[in-house]
Structure 1
Amino acid sequence: MSEMKSPKRDQMNLPIPQWEFVLMMAAIFGLQALGIDIMLPALEVIGHSFAISNENSQQFVVFAFVLGFGFPQLVFGPISDRFGRKILLQLSLVGYIVFSFLCMFAHSFELLLFYRFMQGITCAGTRVSAGAIIRDLSAGRAMASILSLVYTVFMIVPIIAPALGTLIMLKLPWVWTFGVLGIFASIILVWISFRIPVTLAKEDQRPLSFAAISESFKAVLTHRTSFGYMVASGVMFGCLFAFIGSSEQVFDEVFGRGDRFWLWFAGIASVLAVMNYSNSRVVERFGMRRISHSVVVGFIIFSLTNWLYMHFVGQNFWVFYILFALSFGCFGMIGANFASLAMEPMEKMAGTANAVYGFFTTSVSSLFGIFIAQLFDGTVRPLLLAYIVLGMISLSIVLITEKGKLFGIGEGKT
């Protein structure tokens, strides 16, 4: 296939049907969530298999992957801008496949952690290249619409992954929780090899030199709109990681409903998926700024109302759950729009820009999340208070970025 031309503002130029493109990108994004969540039911068995004395050490099977995923994105960004998205995606998928199967044959726990760390690194390459491909083929509100649909499908993965891991272990040895990852990535590799063309034209490739890389990072980090929305996203996504880190304690220790944790978690994730889909339907009409700014305000209001009730009235489960699901659902109309606003001005450096954005929304956000989760005191008050604070910080960053103009005023300016 020939190289694709960059779309004009608020347009898309997809080489395959939109439904197929959305499923493909969601599958690539899903390699991260699947790589984390599918083996959660197997952690205890893995600990017994390697005779680990400290039960908490089995958590490093997850953390090794997450650590590998974060920082390397900053390396893959310039590589993507130099050699193209497709070749990086293909090589990263090959690496992901190799290390998935190596995990099956690790003869020590330390070797398993090394393979998981390397698997996380290769997954970072798939995430950077996929995000850059989306920017190459869409722009503005059209990109926000595509990302919303991708996130809608992507949100299904955390819902079904633990159940899939459990099902695998009922039929096969636990090592196949890693083997399934290799099979899934192999299918994606064949799929993209035949269906996605080169999306970065040769004349748009940037040299892989210290000066060129420095220039790219400087351009991303000094562009008011791009950097502002990257930082705002990093702060907001800290709320998401905080919930993931403390969700089991909230439902089990606070409300005594841990026996159906998967159900309550799936309910919240479903609200998020619905909001993502809703954003894809309305963003091209109302615009990224008007929607995302309004929803950040809504996120703060829902979180504040929830905190006030929990603090002054009492910790009622249904009040908490409904208000929390609404506040969590706001991410569905924040994530895709903030990402599009951050990426839109970076057409020539989509790889680097997507890498920096990915770094902020994974590594930086996870630090916020870990800190907040550690504040758990047997109540939901610290979590909700942190949501209010982070929401207000994010809104303040957006206000500074937009020079005091919110809710779509100045829409279209970068």
Structure 2
Amino acid sequence: MTQEYTRTRYFFLILILGTLTALAPFSIDMYLPGFPAIAADFGVEQARVGLSLSSFFIGISAGQLLYGPLLDRFGRKTPLILGLLVYIAASLGCVYAVTLNSLVILRFIQAIGSCAATVASVAMVRDLFPVKENAKVFALLVLVLGASPMLAPTIGSYVTAAFNWHTIFIVLAAMGVLILLATILWLPESYQPDTSLSLKPGPITRSFWTVATTPQFYTYAFAGATAFSGLFAYVSGSPQIFMDVYHLDGKTYGWIFAGLSIGFIGSSQINSLLLKRFESQQIVLVALTLHVITGLILAFCAWNNWLSLTGLLVLLFVYLCCMGYVNPNTSALCLAPFGKNAGTASALMGALQMGIGALASTFVSLFDSHSTLPLALTIAGSSVMALTILMAGRKQIGTAMAAPDQAGAVLTH
């Protein structure tokens, strides 16, 4: 059954799904300007604070594998509500963290809660909208998601300056409460629980295996996740680079982070226009090629100590523009072959993104080199690997397919 939406209803659904998608990134970006204060409070090197970011990525990666089967078995809303409750409780726990280790553990739990929102929002795009519109919808979600890197670091810098870094987690807990209320009151249940699905390890493993061995899925999931890992490295390494290497204060860093995010947001919206003339597969190939070129130039300049602040900003802006084309299209192509198992597919795709991203961010966090080289090498390496995976996988796919539009855009009022 295909459901037609009024313009207002369409906008409202995108807004709620966008806030769900943005919860985890907002939780990442908002506390970045507080890194120096956290390091000072705990008596550790600033680079070590990045481990609390890596634990968040690991938590999201592991948690998505948990929520995928639950979303297919019990519907979308019940697991989502439970996850948001866990997120709120963990956020409040972070307020009272007294050691870096306790913060790392609490951030892991916070991530487990937030990833329910991440997986549910992506699966609900597949539930609520026709397959041919998925890339467009994902691009619109990026527009809402873009509020995170534009607002979160700036807000975090002012909150830290006016109060302390602990207050950031109070704000995140309050956000969780508001999103929970919106979910309960206004978000429709987009998928009827499938009681035939077993939650025993064997059937769950077979379900994941079915998704993972689909050529279109593993090609675009691994290519997209590997490319996206460079973005995680950028998020993890940027506080040290801008505030330590280039000696900028927290507020200036927040504004720079926000400004660079315009590249990611703007290109994702241009992507919607390009989809009227080009296929997602074509856009991904061109964007990843530019991705590689930018990454190699960045690494070459960093290796030779040629990176001025202006040069770094220009290259990072171009890099983020490329990501704005890669991410929505690889996400749509990953999910296109799946109707019944959209929750499982969404979870596995997200787990790959966060898992590979966690490795990249950890790599950058472990190098206290006071240079841009670790970040530049990570971005270049991930770009080359992503393009290699795409070129190899395209031979296995043949013609990219879309799922039979058996769900269309289903909505129960």
With normalisation by structure 1, the TM-score equals 0.84
Q: Distance in 2 between matches of 1:70 and 1:298?
A: 28
Change (3 A) 1:326 1:104: closer
Q: What is the Cα deviation at residue 88 of structure 1? A: 0.9
Change (3 A) 1:121 1:310: closer
Q: Distance in 2 between matches of 1:362 and 1:75?
A: 14
SS at match of 1:32: helix
Contact 1:65–1:117 (CA<8 Å) still a contact in 2? Answer: yes
SS at match of 2:109: helix
1:213-272 Cα distance to aligned partner (Å, 9 max, x none) = 122111111100001111112211121122223334444566x36344333322221111
Indicate the residue corresponding to 1:357 in structure 2: 349
Q: What is the Cα deviation at residue 77 of structure 1? A: 0.9
Q: Distance in 2 between matches of 1:78 and 1:313?
A: 48
SS at match of 2:277: helix
1:296-344 Cα distance to aligned partner (Å, 9 max, x none) = 1122233344555666794344344323311221000000100111111
Q: 2:18 aligns with which of 26, 33, 43?
A: 26
Contact 1:145–1:284 (CA<8 Å) still a contact in 2? Answer: no
SS at match of 1:334: helix
Q: 1:144 aligns with which of 121, 135, 145?
A: 135
Indicate the residue corresponding to 1:232 in structure 2: 223
| Corresponding position: 1:270 with 2:234 | no
Name the % identity.
25
The alignment covers a number of residue pairs equal to 400
Indicate the residue corresponding to 2:317 in structure 1: 325
Q: Distance in 2 between matches of 1:368 and 1:54?
A: 21
Indicate the residue corresponding to 2:386 in structure 1: 394
Q: 1:258 aligns with which of 248, 258, 261?
A: 248
Contact 2:58–2:358 (CA<8 Å) still a contact in 1? Answer: no
SS at match of 2:275: helix
SS at match of 2:261: helix
Letter in 2 for 1:268: L
Change (3 A) 1:76 1:239: same
Change (3 A) 1:335 1:67: same
| Corresponding position: 1:181 with 2:190 | no
Answer with 133-142 or 202-211: which moved more. Answer: 202-211
Q: Distance in 2 between matches of 1:386 and 1:44?
A: 23
With normalisation by structure 2, the TM-score equals 0.84
Q: What is the Cα deviation at residue 86 of structure 1? A: 1.1
SS at match of 2:260: helix
Matches within 5 A, 1:167-246: 167-169=158-160, 174-202=165-193, 206-246=197-237
Q: Distance in 2 between matches of 1:94 and 1:309?
A: 46
Q: Distance in 2 between matches of 1:61 and 1:339?
A: 27
Answer with 382-391 or 343-352: which moved more. Answer: 382-391
Q: What is the Cα deviation at residue 403 of structure 1? A: 0.9
Contact 2:62–2:351 (CA<8 Å) still a contact in 1? Answer: yes
Q: What is the Cα deviation at residue 145 of structure 1? A: 0.9
Change (3 A) 1:67 1:31: same
| Corresponding position: 1:79 with 2:70 | yes
Answer with 341-350 or 112-121: which moved more. Answer: 112-121
Contact 1:6–1:136 (CA<8 Å) still a contact in 2? Answer: no
| Corresponding position: 1:98 with 2:94 | no
SS at match of 1:286: coil
Change (3 A) 1:48 1:83: same
Q: What is the Cα deviation at residue 358 of structure 1? A: 0.9
Change (3 A) 1:15 1:95: farther
SS at match of 2:307: coil
SS at match of 2:358: helix
Contact 2:287–2:322 (CA<8 Å) still a contact in 1? Answer: yes
Q: What is the Cα deviation at residue 374 of structure 1? A: 5.3
Letter in 2 for 1:293: L
Q: Distance in 1 between matches of 2:301 and 2:222?
A: 30
Q: What is the Cα deviation at residue 121 of structure 1? A: 1.1
Q: What is the Cα deviation at residue 158 of structure 1? A: 2.3
Indicate the residue corresponding to 2:283 in structure 1: 291
**RMSD, aligned α-carbons:** 3.3
Q: Distance in 1 between matches of 2:270 and 2:99?
A: 47
Change (3 A) 1:257 1:60: closer
Change (3 A) 1:374 1:197: same
| Corresponding position: 1:69 with 2:60 | yes
Change (3 A) 1:264 1:39: closer
Answer with 205-214 or 266-275: which moved more. Answer: 205-214
Kindly indicate whether structure 1 or structure 2 has the higher relative contact order, using CA contacts under 8 Å at least 6 residues apart. 2
In structure 2, list runs of 5 or more residues that go unmatched.
404-413
